[in-house]
Amino acid sequence: MTAAMGGSVTATVRAAYALPSDVALHESGHVVGDIAAGVSIRSVEIDRRSGAGLVRVGVSRHVPDLWALLVAHLSGLVAESFFTGGNLQSRECADLAHAREVAVRLLGMTDRRSIDVLVSEANVAAWRFVCENQAAIAPLAYELDERGRLTGAECKAIVGTVTAIPARRAW
Ligand SMILES: [Zn+2]
């Protein structure tokens, strides 16, 4: 009941403001997060009908900043929540699983509670990042909806300057 009501409210708001699709917002959040983390984007594509999306990244010569990478893994879900007002924490398990893998690499251990704490912290950082970069994420999402696929160069041209992912306060 609650979920159905939430869905219809979201649909109404979406129609009134002509928001981009969920998948376009989600993948745009990843793209902007990846750019900020120094990951090179090869392409991004979405299928609005199935709701599937994919960001292809290049092989980078430098070791990425794992904290920034962790935040970028969460920025897809967070961008979707941020723009639509939905709570999607349980929806896309693949992103959370990837985030947890990076957290394990960062911590050098697999203690469940420590991983939970780090991923929660990264989630807060991802909200801050998406909030600060909403003016980059939204136009990318509209363009992605329009064209279905964008190259990395096209993404960079649309996104412009991205605010860096803030460093973690203490280790
Ligand atoms: Zn994702």
Predicted confidence at residue 15, as pLDDT, reads 63
CA of 113 to the centre of ligand 1 (A): 23
Predicted confidence at residue 12, as pLDDT, reads 66
Domain parsing of the chain, residue ranges: 2-156
Average pLDDT rounded to a whole number, residues 96-104: 93
* Tens digits of residue pLDDT in 2-21: 444 455 666 666 666 788 99
Residue 158 has pLDDT above 70, yes or no: yes
CA of 106 to the centre of ligand 1 (A): 20
Distances (CA, A) of 116 to 33, 100, 120: 21, 8, 6
Predicted confidence at residue 43, as pLDDT, reads 98
Contact 29, 6 (CB under 8 A): no
* Tens digits of residue pLDDT in 129-143: 999 999 999 999 999
Q: What is the pTM assigned to this prediction?
A: 0.86
Please tell me the distance from the alpha carbon of residue 71 to that of residue 163, in angstroms, as a whole number.
13
pLDDT band at residue 155, thresholds of 50, 70 and 90?
Answer: very high
Q: Which of 33-47, 88-102, 145-159 has the lowest mean pLDDT?
A: 88-102
CA of 46 to the centre of ligand 1 (A): 11
Which residues keep their CB under 5 angstroms from ion ligand 1?
A: 76, 95
CA of 97 to the centre of ligand 1 (A): 10
What percent of the chain is modeled with pLDDT above 70? 85
In terms of CATH architecture, what is 2-156? Up-down Bundle (1.20)
Predicted confidence at residue 57, as pLDDT, reads 94
Average pLDDT rounded to a whole number, residues 41-51: 94
CA of 30 to the centre of ligand 1 (A): 7
Q: Which of 123, 131, 145, 162 is nearest to 25 (CA)?
A: 145
CA of 108 to the centre of ligand 1 (A): 24
